[in-house]
Structure 1
Amino acid sequence: MSLPTLHGLHRPLGSTGLQVSPLGLGTVKLGRDQGVKYPSGFTIPGDDEARLLLGQARDLGINLLDTAPAYGRSEERLGPLLRGQRDAWVLVSKVGEEYDGGQSRFDFSAAHTRRSVERSLRRLETDRIDLVLVHSDGNDLAILEQQEVYETLAALKHEGKLLGFGFSGKTAAGGLKALEQGDCAMVTFNLNEQAERPVLDYAAQHGKAILVKKALASGHACLAPGVDPVRASFELLFAHPGVSSAIVGTINPLHLAHNVATVARILGQH
Structure 2
Amino acid sequence: MSFMRPLGNTGLTVSALGLGTVKIGRDKGVKYPSSFTIPEDKAVVELIARARDLGINLIDTAPAYGHSESRLGQLLTQRQDWIIVTKVGEEFDNDSGESHFDFSPEHVRNSVERSLKRLNTDYLDCVLIHSDGNDMAIIEQGTLDALNELKKAGLIRATGMSTKTVEGGITTLQHSDIAMVTYNLQHHEEIPVIEHAAAHHKGILIKKAFASGHLAGDVADPVQESLNQILGTPGVGSIIAGTINPGHLQENVDKARIACGEQ
TM range, smaller chain = over 0.9
Does residue 1:175 correspond to 2:165, yes or no?
no
Within 5 Å, which residues of 2 pair with 1:247-262? Answer: 247-262=240-255
TM-score calculated relative to the size of structure 1: 0.94
Within 5 Å, which residues of 2 pair with 1:65-214? Answer: 65-83=59-77, 85-100=78-93, 101-145=96-140, 147-214=141-208
Residue 119 of structure 1 aligns with an amino acid whose one-letter code is R
The separation in 2 between residues aligned to 1:269 and 1:71, in whole angstroms, is: 33
For residue 50 of structure 1, the aligned residue among 44, 50, 56 is 44
Native 8 Å contact 2:160 2:178 kept in 1: yes
Residue 142 of structure 2 aligns with an amino acid whose one-letter code is E
Q: CA deviation at 1:269?
A: 5.3
Q: CA deviation at 1:169?
A: 1.1
The separation in 2 between residues aligned to 1:194 and 1:97, in whole angstroms, is: 25
Q: Which residue of 1 aligns with 2:23?
A: 29
Q: Which residue of 2 aligns with 1:240?
A: 233
Residue 14 of structure 2 aligns with an amino acid whose one-letter code is V
Does residue 1:268 correspond to 2:235, yes or no?
no
What whole-Å deviation, never above 9, does each CA across 1:85-140 have from its counterpart, x for those lacking one?
00000000000000012111111111100000000000000000000000001101
Within 5 Å, which residues of 2 pair with 1:224-235? Answer: 224=218, 227-235=220-228
Identity %: 57
What whole-Å deviation, never above 9, does each CA across 1:37-84 have from its counterpart, x for those lacking one?
11110000010000000000000000000000000000000001013x
The separation in 2 between residues aligned to 1:215 and 1:48, in whole angstroms, is: 28
The separation in 2 between residues aligned to 1:205 and 1:229, in whole angstroms, is: 28
Native 8 Å contact 2:89 2:130 kept in 1: yes
Task: For residue 260 of structure 2, give the secondary structure of its aligned residue in structure 1.
Answer: helix
The separation in 1 between residues aligned to 2:154 and 2:189, in whole angstroms, is: 34
Task: For residue 257 of structure 2, give the secondary structure of its aligned residue in structure 1.
Answer: helix
The separation in 1 between residues aligned to 2:225 and 2:205, in whole angstroms, is: 18
Native 8 Å contact 2:126 2:158 kept in 1: yes
Task: For residue 65 of structure 2, give the secondary structure of its aligned residue in structure 1.
Answer: coil
Q: Which residue of 2 aligns with 1:3?
A: none
Native 8 Å contact 2:197 2:203 kept in 1: yes
Task: For residue 70 of structure 1, give the secondary structure of its aligned residue in structure 2.
Answer: helix
The separation in 2 between residues aligned to 1:97 and 1:223, in whole angstroms, is: 32
